[in-house]
Amino acid sequence: MDLQTAEKEVKELHNLLNQYNYEYHVLDNPSVPDAEYDKLMQKLLEIEEQFPQLKTPDSPSQRVGGSVLDAFEKVQHEIPMLSLGNAFNEQDLRDFDRRIRQAVGDDFSYVCELKIDGLAVSLRYREGVFVQGATRGDGTTGEDITSNLRTIRSIPLRLNENVSIEVRGEAFMPKRSFEALNKVKEDKGEEPFANPRNAAAGSLRQLDPRIAASRNLDIFLYAIANPEETGVASHSEGLDFLDHLGFKSNKERKKCGNIEEVIEFVESWVEKRPSLPYEIDGIVIKVDSFDQQRSLGTTAKSPRWAIAFKFPAEEVVTKLVDIELSIGRTGVVTPTAILEPVKVAGSTVGRASLHNEDLIREKDIKIGDIVVIKKAGDIIPEVVKVLEDRRTGEEKDFAMPTHCPECDSELVRIEGEVALRCINPKCPAQIREGLIHFVSRDAMNIDGLGEKVISQLFAEKLIEDVADLYKLTYEQLIGLERMGEKSVNNLLKAIEASKENSLEKLLFGLGIRHVGAKAAKTLAQEFDHIDHLSAATFEHLIAINEIGDKMADSIVTYFELEEVKELIEELKLAGVNMGYKGPKPVSAEESDSIFAGKTVVLTGKLEQLTRNDAKEKIELLGGKISGSVSKKTDLVIAGEEAGSKLTKAQELGIEVWNEEKLLEELNK
C-alpha cells in the first residue's frame, strides 16, 4: 500500500470508527456488532504501524497510550469553574425564584437537569481536536488528566465541526461498572470503593491511563465555558449545540416556564432516582437566557442564576453501641457515636459525630439506643433521632467527663460556647493534632509527614512540639516502621525545604485561634516579620481590614505566652524563616503605577501569564479586577481568542491592551 492509498484508508476508518463509537457510547444504539468495530480498529492499527506519520492525536486508536505519568501538571482555568448554591426544600426553591424575579422580572424560563454524582471536568478543543482535559480542582486551578479522559469513549477526540471550544461536564462511573469494579477488588482482598463518585474520582487520578481505561467511565457534558463566543443565546440552545458537535449530554432535562413546573420536575425525580443506571444527587436549575445570566452575575463562589436542589438524605436505622471522645488541636472535646456498621447513601458507616454535650441531651441519646442516621449533604454521617419506642431498659445514660481523657486536666466551658475544652497547653492530644495541622498543605506543607507518621513520631517521643521536627535525624528515622532509606531522605529534604516558607505559612501552621490562611497572609503582609507581629497591640491589629476583635485578642494573647516565645526562638535557631517573602499590595493612593485606581478586565487567553498571575500583579499595583465590561471599566487586557468582552470594550471606546503591552507595564 502506498502513502496516498493509506491516507485515504485512514480517513475512511476514522469516519467509520468515530460513527460507530458515537452510536454505541453516546446514542446507546449500535449499528454494527462489536466484532466489526474490532476488525476495523485492527486494520487502522496496522496501517498506522506501517505509516507512523498518519497516527494523529484524534485517531480512534489513541484512546489509551503514552507512558505512566510521574505526577499531574496544574491547569489554570481561564474561566473559573464555580460551585452551585444549594436548595434543600421547596421553600428554598421558591426563595431562589423570588430573587430571580426581583432581578429580571417575570419574562424568563428555567432549564432543569439531573445533577450527576461524579467528578466535574473541563475539556478543551482546538479546531475540533481534543487537546486538554482537567479536573475542577478549587475552581481556578485543576489538574491535567488529558490521558485519562481520552479513555472515556463518549468523549469525542474530534468534533463534528472544526471549532475551538471549552466545555464542562461530569465524568462518572455507571452503577454496572461500579459493581463490577468492587467485585474485582473484593476478590483480590482489597478495600472496595465506598461509592461510584469516589470510584470515578480515584480512576481519573490514576497516573497510568490503562487503569482509567479499565474502569469503564462515562460522561455527560452540561455547559460551554464561554457561550457568547459560539453564537447561542441560551443554555438550552447550548445543550443542543453540544449534541450537534458530537458530545453526550443528558436527555433527562426540561425547560420550565415557572417555579411550579420546576418543583414538579424535582418531585418526579425524587421517586424515579433509583431507576437510573447512574447515581444522581439532585437537580440543577438554571435561568435559560445567557443575557439574563450575565445580568444576574455571580458571587465569589457561585452563580446567582443557578441552584442545585439536593435530594433528601437517605435515612437508615442502626444501633449506637458506644460514644468515644476525641480532643482537637484547640482543646475542644468532641463526642463520636460508634455504630453497628450500616450502609448509607452508597457507603458503610460505623461512626457519626455528635458535636457536643448539648446535642446529646437535646436528642436524649443513650448508649445502646436504636437510632436513625443519615449523611448530611450525602457526605457527613449524623444521628437524626432516637427510636424511643424500641428501648429495652438496658440503655445507659452518657455523661461528658469532667477531666480530659488524654491528660486528665479539668475540662472547662468558655462563656458563650457550647463545647467543653481542655486548656492544658501540654495536652498530648492537642499537641499531636497541632503537629498534624503544622505540616499540612496550607501550612508548612511538609510532604511525607502525614497523620500516621506524625502519630508514630509522637508515640516514639521523637517530637513534642513543632520545633522538634527540625531536630529529627537520619538515625532516628531509619529505625522506624515503614521508613526506608529513600523515604527518610525525602522526608528530611522536605523538612529542610519548609524552612524557606514565607511567614504566612508559618503563622497559619502555628494554629493561632481564629487565624485562618487568608488572615495569616494579611498579617504577614502588614507586619513583614514575626517579631513585629508579636509586638503588635490590640489597637493596631483591629485597625487592619479583615481583623476583628476576637482575632486581635487571640493574637495578642497567643504571643504573650512564655511557651510561645520559647517556641519561636527554637524555630529561629533551627533556621526557619520568620519574614514575609511575597509581594505587598499597595492602595491606589500609594501607588504611582498606571494601574492605580483603575478597573481592569481580563479576557481571552494569555500566553506568558496565567489569569490569576495577571490579576495578582495588577492588584498589587493598586488596580481592581472586574469580571465584566461596563462604562466604569478603565482598561481591558485582551489575550488570544478574546470574545464579546473585547467587542463591548471597542464599542464603548475603552482602552485595550494586548499581553505584550501588559508585560511591558508590569516590568516597569
Active site residues: 115
At CB < 8 A and 24+ separation, what contacts does 592-598 make? 593/621, 593/622, 593/623, 593/665, 593/668, 594/665, 594/668, 595/621, 595/622, 595/623, 595/635, 595/665, 596/621, 596/622, 596/623, 597/622, 597/623, 597/624, 598/623, 598/624, 598/634, 598/635
C-alpha to C-alpha distance for 385 and 362, rounded to whole angstroms: 10
Torsion of CA 60, 63, 64, 69, to 10 degrees: 130
Distances (CA, A) of 230 to 108, 112, 234, 282: 21, 22, 11, 29
C-alpha to C-alpha distance for 532 and 530, rounded to whole angstroms: 5
Task: Please give the biggest Cα pair distance in the chain.
Answer: 88
C-alpha to C-alpha distance for 28 and 158, rounded to whole angstroms: 19
CA-CA-CA-CA torsion sign (421, 425, 428, 429): positive
User: In the numeric block, which cell numbers belong to residue 544?
Assistant: 487592619
- Unique residue bearing C-alpha cell 435561568: 287
Distances (CA, A) of 445 to 434, 490, 496, 576: 14, 13, 11, 14
Q: What is the SS3 string spanning 77-125?
A: CCCCCCCCCEECCHHHHHHHHHHHHHHHCCCCCEEEEEEECCEEEEEEE
C-alpha to C-alpha distance for 370 and 395, rounded to whole angstroms: 10
Q: What is the DSSP code (8-state) at residue 303?
A: B
DSSP-assigned letters across all residues of 599-657: EEEEESB-SSS-HHHHHHHHHHTT-EEESS--TT--EEEE-BT--HHHHHHHHHT-EEE
